[in-house]
């Protein structure tokens, strides 16, 4: 296992270099850029644009700019935001806790709900519970996130009113009430709607993969042997079937965890949540290359890292899997 982990880490280095080069080149081929806002300004002369390009290093060949960016990142310098003129690393570090706060809450609730439902749905295949769970899963996977978010805002922020204050029942955006003192209740009220959207979106595929994995395991010979030995249904499910049935869900979780750090772009934008998703959306609109590269490379690194962690978890859950 140790040799396998070391080999995967060594393989990840050229992979991340290729990803960074590809993203950097594609980003610099996009029309516009950091100076797009100045190009149509009549008060900005061509000499001013040339001076700005020289100061920002945008007049250098693309391979020189990439090498400068790469060596700076390896030293811990992620560049300067062209919009705020602050370090890109600072911009990302400020938004990351907000995204983790929202994403982890939604992710944990989704797992707490979907795993029991998926198991019961498989055990009671074709029952009313199974049909309801399957319907919820299909709705969660097919319903557009932006539409569901807007529906919740219309219902709980516009239509329904708080019987005590007369204001909206739930906030429709933001992370807290601006100007109000810190309050846990206020933070929770702002969290409910965006967390509900993300939880319901994750429920769909979590339930389906948990159900499919459990159905596959329940028909294995060792499960029939466990029943023949006189073990209770609960013992068979929890001690023998669960570890192997969760493998497909582990794959999905391994792919989703990097998204906990990079944010839910649509949900954060709809609910004006000050997180990584909204930061990335704003950086695209403004052509803020330093922030975009920082977020994309962080996401790529996390995907590679958690791909390795997922393989290790496979070997722990299923002794038949070996990486020799």
- What values do phi and psi take at 3, rounded to 5? -60, -40
**Is residue 133 within 8 Å of residue 118, measured between CB atoms?**
yes
Strand, helix or coil for residue 1: coil
Show the domains of the chain with their CATH numbers: 31-77 (no CATH), 96-317 (1.10.3720.10)
Strand, helix or coil for residue 65: helix
**Window from 35-49, 67-81, 238-252 with minimum mean pLDDT:** 35-49
CA distances from 304 to 14, 200, 203 (A): 12, 26, 24
Cite the DSSP H helix spans in 30-127. Answer: 36-39, 46-56, 62-74, 88-123
Specify which residues 161 forms β-bridges with.
168
pTM: predicted TM-score of the whole model, two decimal places? 0.81
Q: What is the share, in percent, of the chain residues with pLDDT greater than 70?
A: 93
Average pLDDT over residues 65-94: 86
Determine the Cα–Cα distance for residues 104 and 195; give it in Å rounded to an integer: 9
Q: What is the pLDDT of residue 152?
A: 93
CA angle (116 as vertex; 115, 118 as ends), nearest 5: 65
Average pLDDT over residues 143-154: 90
Q: Given the structure tokens 């590679």, which residue do they identify?
A: 304
């Amino acid at each position: 296992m140790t040799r396998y982990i070391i080999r995967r880490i060594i393989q990840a280095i050229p992979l991340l270099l290729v990803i960074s080069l590809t993203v950097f080149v594609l980003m610099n081929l996009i029309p516009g850029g950091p100076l797009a806002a100045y190009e149509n300004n009549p008060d900005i002369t061509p000499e001013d644009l040339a001076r700005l390009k020289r100061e920002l290093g945008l007049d250098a060949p693309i391979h020189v700019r990439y090498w400068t960016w790469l060596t700076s990142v390896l030293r811990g310098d992620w560049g300067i935001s062209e919009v705020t003129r602050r370090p890109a690393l600072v911009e990302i570090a400020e938004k990351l806790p907000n995204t983790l706060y929202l994403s982890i809450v939604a992710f944990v609730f989704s797992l707490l709900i979907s795993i029991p439902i998926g198991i019961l749905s498989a055990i009671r295949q074709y029952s009313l519970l199974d049909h309801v769970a399957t319907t919820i899963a299909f709705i969660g996977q097919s319903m557009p996130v932006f539409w569901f978010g807007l529906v919740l805002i219309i219902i709980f922020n516009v239509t329904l009113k708080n019987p005590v204050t007369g204001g909206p029942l739930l906030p429709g955006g933001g992370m807290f009430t601006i100007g109000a003192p810190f309050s846990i209740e206020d933070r929770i009220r702002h969290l409910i709607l965006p967390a509900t959207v993300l939880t319901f979106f994750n429920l769909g595929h979590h339930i389906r993969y948990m159900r499919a994995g459990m159905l596959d395991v329940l028909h294995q010979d060792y499960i029939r042997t466990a029943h023949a030995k006189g073990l209770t249904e609960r013992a068979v499910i929890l001690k023998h079937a669960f570890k192997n049935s969760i493998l497909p869900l582990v794959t999905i979780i391994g792919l989703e965890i990097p998204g906990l750090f990079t944010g839910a772009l649509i949900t954060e934008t709809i609910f004006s949540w000050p997180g990584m998703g909204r930061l990335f959306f704003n950086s695209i609109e403004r052509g803020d290359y330093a922030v975009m590269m920082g977020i994309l490379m962080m996401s790529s690194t996390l995907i590679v890292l958690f791909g390795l962690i997922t393989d290790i978890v496979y070997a722990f859950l299923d002794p038949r899997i070996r990486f020799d």
